[in-house]
Chains A and B, each alone.
Chain A
Amino acid sequence: GNSVTQMEGPVTLSEEAFLTINCTYTATGYPSLFWYVQYPGEGLQLLLKATKADDKGSNKGFEATYRKETTSFHLEKGSVQVSDSAVYFCALSLQTGANNLFFGTGTRLTVIP
């Protein structure tokens, strides 16, 4: 089947700390991988994506590399800010023409000053 396993939260970091949120996946085909962010009271926003092995997605200082050998797509940021506090979802979609996403359970990040 298709699924995403995400590091459980919540994660609390001090400002400027290094962030890693682990994500691994299982898929029947060759998925595209995504990180979505959900700020309080808002909808999901695409943070970054990668569509094939060894691709690196990056946005707003966040990065994730599509690792086929370890079926992983870990999210990293070198220096988090208070404004990064949100819930982060790892997701995959199969390149079959149906664009629906399979989400992980989400990881709540709280950054304290």
Chain B
Amino acid sequence: AAGVIQSPRHLIKEKRETATLKCYPIPRHDTVYWYQQGPGQDPQFLISFYEKMQSDKGSIPDRFSAQQFSDYHSELNMSSLELGDSALYFCASSLKLGGEKLFFGSGTQLSVL
């Protein structure tokens, strides 16, 4: 069965650069969530989208932005990268009306040098 696909799997950037992370949800899933997991920490909710509209916002820095496209894939854009942005970024998808089950991707490991 198709799962949530994230790309790239690994990304290395330098301070003040920009990065774009992509997430392709499970087919027919209309809701996408982004989480940030720092080294040895629990995942922190960043932002979510339902039907291409932002549905909820968590601890996402102003330097980050995200959107969901007409094919339901989502991109997380990160600018002016800082060392503290180094983390594993998870995307998850769900059916808005299908209960609370989230399916997670394997994550993008971002390293800021």
Question: Quick check: A101 and B101 within 8 Å, CB to CB?
Answer: no
Question: Quick check: A100 and B42 within 8 Å, CB to CB?
Answer: no
Q: Out of B42, B90, B100, B101, name the residue touching A43 (CB < 8 Å).
A: B90
Once bound together, how far apart are the Cα atoms of A81 and B58, in whole Å? 36
Count of A-B residue pairs with CB < 8 Å:
55
Q: What's the nearest-Cβ distance from chain B to residue A22, in Å?
A: 15
A43-B107, A93-B100 known; A99-B42 Cβ under 8 A: no
Q: Which residue numbers of B lie inside 8 Å of A, CB to CB?
A: 4, 31, 33, 35, 41-45, 48, 55-56, 58, 90, 92, 94, 96, 100-107
Q: Which residue numbers of A lie inside 8 Å of B, CB to CB?
A: 32, 34, 36, 41-46, 49, 51, 89, 93, 95, 97-106
In the assembled complex, 29 residue pairs joining A and B whose CB atoms fall closer than 8 Å, in A order, are A32-B100, A34-B100, A36-B104, A43-B4, A43-B90, A44-B90, A44-B92, A46-B101, A46-B102, A49-B100, A51-B100, A89-B43, A93-B100, A98-B55, A98-B56, A99-B94, A99-B100, A99-B102, A100-B45, A100-B56, A100-B58, A101-B35, A101-B45, A101-B102, A102-B45, A103-B42, A104-B42, A105-B41, A105-B42
